[in-house]
Structure 1
Amino acid sequence: MAFPAPRPQAPRFPSQRLRTFPCGQGAVRAVRFNADGNYCLTCGSDKSLKLWNPHRGILLKTYSGHGYEVLDSAGSCDNSQICSCGADKTVILWDVATGQLVRKFRGHGGKVNCVQFNEESTVIVSGSIDTSIRCWDCRSRTSEPIQILNEAKDGISSVKVSDHEILSGSVDGRVRRYDLRMGQLFADFIGSPISSVCFSRDGQCSLSSSLDSTLRLLDKETGELLGDYTGHKNTEYKLDCCFNESDTHVVSGSEDGLVYFWDLVEGSCAVTLPVGKGVVQSLSYHPTQSCLLTASQGAVQLWGDESYEADTQSTS
């Protein structure tokens, strides 16, 4: 006798606002979870970079060394180092424990919009308004980039790095994927300036957000359009987009103060989160749990579902 297949569980959304904490950095340009999701980084218009325990709203350390506002940051795979970039055209490598500046990389001709570590955290990849992507060796004493990728015709707005690929979005309306093993470049023309890109967690697809208020899901290998997602507002600002922790939904900030979740397959809007009246410029999804960080109006908001809140309370 065959038993019926179990009914699939309903999707979980981080729909409860668990905490809001003002960062004291002016406008928060970016918020980023670290590799294991225990801490987060905030980048401010006051030239500072801050490390937080977002689950408690506790400031752990402040890193000061940029000459202008900090625009992006990322943590290393072992959480021992941080890289950051800013409008001062520099990329900085920090030691987490001491808060000291380890290296400062100069070479970009304009503000640096985005920064990422490679998988082993031995190379920093940065994208700039000067239309170039530059790769910096964290272990070398030279401050010269080990590689420059300058195929874009306009500023680089977003970069993401996998084990052997670099994904970039540009204001020229193209999503470019560099296969470092094969030495090949693949480009997909979107048409509208790209504000954010990311890989799906299974590595099969790429997601891009553009200034025509549309997110597009592309097959990474063929460039085929698998889905598009609309309903939010994105016509002026650089807004983050991402996948949730299980690749079932795509997520984006919006200029109307909401965060939108769309079903990956159906393309329908599943839920919206009312963050506030201002633009939700940055967001970061927890790597393994139904938990989301959003940044709006100088503050960071932590969102979770019922189970995540219970776990948090039980460890307090």
Structure 2
Amino acid sequence: METEIKDGVGIVKKEAVLSLIVSQLTDYGYNSLATAVAKYTNVEMSAESNSMLAQLLYIGNKYKDEGKSTAKKSPEAHEDGDVTTTTNAGFAGSGGTGSGNPNDDMDGISEDESEVDGLLIDGTKGGDGTNEVQNTAPDYIMWYQTTHKGPATAAAFSRNGQYLATGSADTTLKVIDTDRIKSPTQKTSIEEKPVVRTLYDHQEGINDLTFHPNGIVLASCSDDRSIKLFDLSVSQGKRSFRYMYDSHTINSISFHPSGDFLAAGTTASELRIYDIKTFQCYIPSGSNGSGEGNNGGHTKGIVQTRYAHNGSLIATASLDGSVKIWDGVDGSCVRTLENAHGGSPVTSVNFSRNTKYILTCGRDSLIKLWEVGSGRLVHDFAGSVHKKTVCQASFTHDEAFVISGDEATNTITCWDSRTGTFLKRYGGQNQSICQIAASPSFPAFVSCS
């Protein structure tokens, strides 16, 4: 960070300060304001939102406060200064108060630090978590419902939870401002309708959505074999500003936490990695079948792919019944869970925030929690049926619970993530639930059918 001397005092240059302001505004969810400031001051928008400005202010205030009592403290006392769908998409929230941090992610955080708030399973009794204190199921209530002309097939939250996007088999996408979703007892004015944008640019149904870490770019993939990027900061913009085509149907996409790369899973067996700046596509050497034994690629199409929260790993779930973990840097396959669901297709995969565990869902009607480092099955979650739909399983915002749909009852099922205990069912949908996504910052989730 460049500095200069002004009036005999060392300061950070104006450009650097303005860049920090823009990044902080984006991190707070003020994307339009951040864009306006960037344009007015000719500051380049950061590829990734961050809270560095808030962190620096914290450190400065802490240093200032400690400086008042330096005479009473030894130098060692300062060592703790750490930098530190008609079909629908239904949105449900917990009646309780969320404890999640909107900015809770893995960027710049070591694995040890992340373990403080991350999912940790106490395995002292056989590794099954049976000695864990039982959680009480949250009281989710229906907050909001929006409709598409066709089945709702995809949903994703922005990293800070401010925006929610849904995609449909009718080819449209909707962007919802979660701040405008009120409780059922409150009325919403016409000027504050939750749906802030409807996007059109695909020729066939939407399969997956993911927000760029900066919160203002939304990526979508479709049966039309395309990935499209939409700039949400452009007023009234309804079409994509960039796109890329593949030779196969694209089932799933996931941004690297830096925003520089996009992982894609298609009906082909190879994992794709796209460079966002050049749109060049890379296929990891191990993904094309060149690896030895279990270190080779999938033998059937990839249903879902997800980056770990720190970008170090990529997980893929496939129709071949396996789950593979890939190195986020060199693309090598570092672990394979063969027959993860008894040979049944695996339809979803998600990392815990500390990257220690992955949550998978398969057409054997089981959801499973695995330890990434050892490949050990921690426990499974039974009680819901997944036989026909490409169903998803997700951690809640605080990773205390696991939620998924049940196609037999059209309900949402909830389990204790640490013990695997079935806790509760939630109604609200009239048809099978094919997608479920939890807010990263507060106790709420969206279900699609």
TM-score norm. by structure 2 comes to 0.61
Report if the CA contact (8 A) 2:396-2:402 is conserved.
Answer: yes
- Give the share of equivalent positions with the same residue, in percent: 21
Q: Counterpart of 2:73?
A: none
Aligned partner of 1:51 among 175, 183, 198: 175
Q: Give the structure 1 partner of residue 142 of structure 2.
A: 17
Q: Determine if contact 2:411/2:429 at 8 Å carries over to the other structure.
A: yes
1:187 and 2:336 matched: yes
Larger mean CA deviation between 85-94 and 143-152 belongs to: 143-152
Match of 2:264 in 1: 126
1:101 corresponds in structure 2 to: 240
- Supply the distance in 1 between the matched residues of 2:139 and 2:305 (Cα, whole angstroms): 26
Give runs of aligned pairs for residues 162-241 of structure 1, distance below 5 A.
162=308, 163-181=311-329, 183-185=331-333, 186-189=335-338, 190=340, 191-241=343-393
Count of residues in Structure 1 that have an aligned counterpart in Structure 2:
285
Q: Distance in 1 between the 2:418 and 2:209 partners?
A: 31
Deviations for 1:159-182, whole angstroms, at most 9, x for unmatched residues? 110211111100000000001346
Counterpart in the other structure of 1:281? 434
1:28 to 118, 131, 152: 152
Moved more, 149-158 or 91-100: 91-100
User: How far has the Cα of 1:218 moved from its partner?
Assistant: 0.6
CA distance in 2, matches of 1:265, 1:31: 25
Q: In proportion to residue count, which structure has more strand?
A: 1
1:254 and 1:281 in contact (8 A); partners too: no
The match for 1:305 is: none
Change (3 A) 1:284 1:270: same
Which of 261, 267, 284 does residue 420 from structure 2 map onto? 267
- Does structure 1 retain, via aligned residues, the 8 Å contact 2:359–2:369? yes
Partners of 2:419 and 2:137 lie apart in 1 by 16
- State the Cα deviation string for residues 246-295 of structure 1 (Å, max 9, x = none): 22221111212111111123221111111223111111111122111111
Higher radius of gyration, 1 or 2? 2
Per the alignment, residue 303 of structure 1 pairs with none
1:158 — aligned with what? 304
- Aligned counterparts of 2:282 and 2:265: Cα–Cα separation in 1: 14
Q: 1:110 touches 1:128 (CA, 8 Å); kept in 2?
A: yes
SS in 2 for 1:196: strand
1:172–1:135 Cα change, 3 Å? same
- Equivalent position SS for 1:101: coil
Query: What's the C-alpha RMSD, in Å, of the aligned pairs?
Result: 1.8
1:1-55 alpha-carbon deviations (Å, 9 max, x no partner) = xxxxxxx896462521122222x24110111111111111111111112211244
Query: Which residue, 196, 205, 221 being the options, matches 1:85?
Result: 221
Partner of 1:301: none
Change (3 A) 1:14 1:88: farther
Unpaired runs of at least 5, structure 2: 1-132, 182-192, 289-296
- CA deviation string 1:87-137 (max 9, x = no partner): 011111221122342221112x32111111110111111111122221111
Q: Where has structure 1 moved over 6 Å in runs of 4 or more? A: none
Q: Which has the higher helix share?
A: 2
Which one of 135, 141, 147 corresponds to residue 283 of structure 2?
147
The letter for the 2-side match of 1:278 is Q
Aligned with 1:136: secondary structure? Answer: strand
Unaligned residue ranges in structure 1 (runs of 5+): 1-7, 297-316
Per the TM alignment, residue 61 of structure 1 is displaced from its structure 2 partner at its CA by 1.2
- Normalised to the residue count of structure 1, the TM-score between the two structures is 0.85
Cα deviation for residue 67 of structure 1 reads: 1.4
Amino acid at match of 1:175: V
User: 2:396–2:443: 8 Å Cα contact kept in structure 1?
Assistant: yes
C-alpha contact 1:105 1:144 (8 A) present in aligned 2: no
Asked if structure 2 preserves the Cα contact closer than 8 Å seen for 1:166 and 1:179, the reply is: yes
Q: Tell me how far apart the structure 2 counterparts of residues 9 and 215 of structure 1 sit (CA, whole Å).
A: 19
One-letter amino acid of the counterpart of residue 153, structure 1: T
Question: Contact 2:222 / 2:249 at 8 angstroms: preserved in 1?
Answer: yes
